[in-house]
Each structure stands twice: as C-alpha cells, then as structure tokens.
C-alpha cells in the first residue's frame, strides 16, 4: 500500500476545542487501518486498529471511523487537552500486514 496521506500536517488548537484528522489511503488490497499517537521522546502508542467498513472505535475522548470503500479514516478528539499534544500517525496494511505510515499530524493544544 503506497501513498498514505494525512491532513492537516499540523494543527494548533485551544484547550477544550474538538478537532479531527483525516487519513486517506488506496482502497485496493486493504486489510486493516492502525492509528498511533507519538509523543516526543516516547514510543508510538497504539490507539486503534480497524478492519471493517463502517468500523468505529472509541477510547476516552478519542474516536475513529473507517471507510474502506472510499479509502479514508477520521480521528476525532473531543475537548482537546494539553496532554493530547502529539503526532498522530495512521498506517493501513495489506494482507502482508506491513504498516505503511503517513507523515503524521502534529497536534499542539494550548492551555
């Protein structure tokens, strides 16, 4: 799987704002979609993995949706907090289970 696009590249929001990111990927040869959160100087942390069209996952204030037919996933953060500041990576996989990463979206939440 090639050409994984994430937008926007960076985002600066105020504490309490809700925000959302987009991950676009080729819909052919799709197997799963992974989202990771990567804080500076730490290991990327697995957030969600989704496989089925229409999947929705939620973890606290963060949720994600998946559209495999049109090749995109949305990540939502409700009521952003400074601790949400991180780079958010998406990575679809094909049947070979190899992760193909986008460049990531850097979120900065101002107190």
Min CB(99)–other proteins separation in Å: 6
What's the token pair of residue 2?
Answer: 């090639």
What's the token pair of residue 88?
Answer: 């958010």
Positive or negative: CA dihedral 55, 10, 61, 99: positive
Min CB(103)–other proteins separation in Å: 5
Helix (H, G, I), strand (E, B) or coil at 82: helix
Residues that bind other proteins (CB under 8 A): 4, 32, 34, 36, 41-44, 46, 49, 89, 93, 97-104
Min CB(1)–other proteins separation in Å: 11
107, 84 Cβ separation under 8 angstroms: yes
Of 14 and 43, nearer to other proteins (C-beta) is 43
Of 71 and 102, nearer to other proteins (C-beta) is 102
């Amino acid at each position: 799987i090639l050409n994984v696009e994430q937008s926007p590249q960076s985002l600066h929001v105020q504490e309490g704002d809700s925000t959302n990111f987009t991950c676009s990927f080729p819909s052919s040869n799709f197997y799963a979609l992974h989202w990771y959160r990567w804080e500076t100087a730490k290991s990327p942390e697995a957030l969600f993995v989704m496989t089925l069209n229409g999947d929705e996952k939620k973890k606290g204030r963060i949720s994600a949706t998946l559209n495999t037919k049109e090749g995109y996933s949305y990540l939502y953060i409700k009521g952003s907090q400074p601790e949400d500041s991180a780079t958010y990576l998406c990575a679809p996989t094909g049947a070979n289970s190899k992760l193909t990463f986008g460049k990531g979206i850097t979120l900065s939440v101002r107190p």
